[in-house]
Amino acid sequence: MENVDQETGQGAVAPMSLMASGFKDAWDSAIQLSRSSLIPEHFRGRPENVLLAMEIAQNMDIPFLTICRNLYEIKGRPAWNTSFLIATLNRSKKFGIVKYNMVGQDSKMIDDLGCRAYATSLLEQEVVYGPLVTVKMAKDEGWYGRKGSKWPNMPELMLMYRAAGFFVRLFAPEVSHGFYSVDEAMDIPAASMVPFAASNSKIETFTSLRNATPVEVVEETTEVDEQKASGWDQPTPEDPTAGIPINLMEQAAMELRINLANMTHDEAVQCSKRANEIAGRPGPGPGMV
């Protein structure tokens, strides 16, 4: 089966699933690998997790051992090592090397310290800026004061990590495959573990996000309405994805191999139907798409 690369417009061969190529052989391999002393401890003796890591490694075209060393289970959910996310973004063909713009370093107030990740779009040759993350935001969201938090001891590093995580989630969600970074997963309560833009309930295009002003981006991404994020609003004719939590959209887009940031209307309809199926809810009714 051949897909169309949304950046180049050229045909690309879709990765074959291990499940499709022979589940029994893959399962036998996972059992053997789970006995190895060279894989991280949280994979040893857990062939079911090893099998999933093998599947992810094949789909991402990254060595299995690299995936194992950078994939963790936090609060029952898979999460990436943040440095791995940054490295994966840097090796992608979508952006150049991610860089950081620090602000508030001359201020006497630690709350003013902030960071914004940015990178050059290789397709459009324009600089794309992620949302501004500040220490004040970390305090307001409860990240800073969490037990065992690294924010008080290394605020600049944590700002860069969180800014990079936000950048990936906005502009290159295919890099994370819908998973949080370890730092995000540890900071965000499990009950409200949804993408930070979920309260907006809209899928914005790459172009509109690129042209947004920094102030507008920060306002949209610093407020998380847990009730809206966990609720279900009816879709509208104009936007078939409205009201569907972004984490469900990301999972559906992954399964359908659709680029979430650049999907067409027909792909959005297809994605919303799949997200409904994942949530176990009825799909859009007549006249809604």
pLDDT tens across 21-72, in order? 578 889 999 999 999 999 999 899 999 999 999 999 998 889 999 999 999 9
Whether residues 103 and 159 share a domain: the answer is yes
| b/e code 99-115 from CB counts within 10 Å (16+ = b) | eeeeebeeeeeeeebbb
Residue 276 has pLDDT above 90, yes or no: no
Query: What is the DSSP secondary structure assignment for residue 32, as one 8-state letter?
Result: H
Whether residues 65 and 90 share a domain: the answer is no
Whether residues 267 and 162 share a domain: the answer is no
Q: Which of 255, 106, 87, 83 is nearest to 181 (CA)?
A: 83
Whether residues 103 and 173 share a domain: the answer is yes
Whether residues 43 and 93 share a domain: the answer is no
Whether residues 127 and 194 share a domain: the answer is yes
Q: Tally the domains of the chain.
A: 3
Whether residues 107 and 209 share a domain: the answer is yes
Q: What is the pLDDT of residues 115-164, one digit of tens each?
A: 999 999 998 999 999 999 999 999 999 999 988 899 999 999 999 999 99
Looking at residue 198, what is its pLDDT? 34
Lowest model confidence (mean pLDDT) among 15-19, 80-84, 151-155, 233-237: 233-237
Phi-psi region of 194 (alpha: psi -120 to 50; beta: other; left: phi over 0): beta
Query: Which of 15, 48, 74 lies at the terminal end of a domain, its last residue?
Result: 74
Which phi and psi angles does 49 have, rounded to 5°? -75, -35
Return the structure tokens found at 101: 């713009």
Residue 81 has pLDDT above 90, yes or no: yes
Whether residues 198 and 255 share a domain: the answer is no
3-state secondary structure of 193: coil
Whether residues 256 and 208 share a domain: the answer is no
Q: What is the pLDDT of residues 198-207, one digit of tens each?
A: 333 333 333 3
Instruction: Name the residue range of residue 214's domain.
Output: 81-231
How many CA within 13 A on the CB side of residue 162? Answer: 31
Query: Which of 182, 200, 231 lies at the terminal end of a domain, its last residue?
Result: 231
Return the structure tokens found at 185: 């997963």
Neighbours of 123 (CB within 10 A): 13
Whether residues 217 and 116 share a domain: the answer is yes
Whether residues 44 and 32 share a domain: the answer is yes
Query: Which of 185, 214, 231 lies at the terminal end of a domain, its last residue?
Result: 231
- Give the integer Cα–Cα distance in Å for 125 and 174: 20
pTM over 0.75: no
Whether residues 206 and 113 share a domain: the answer is yes
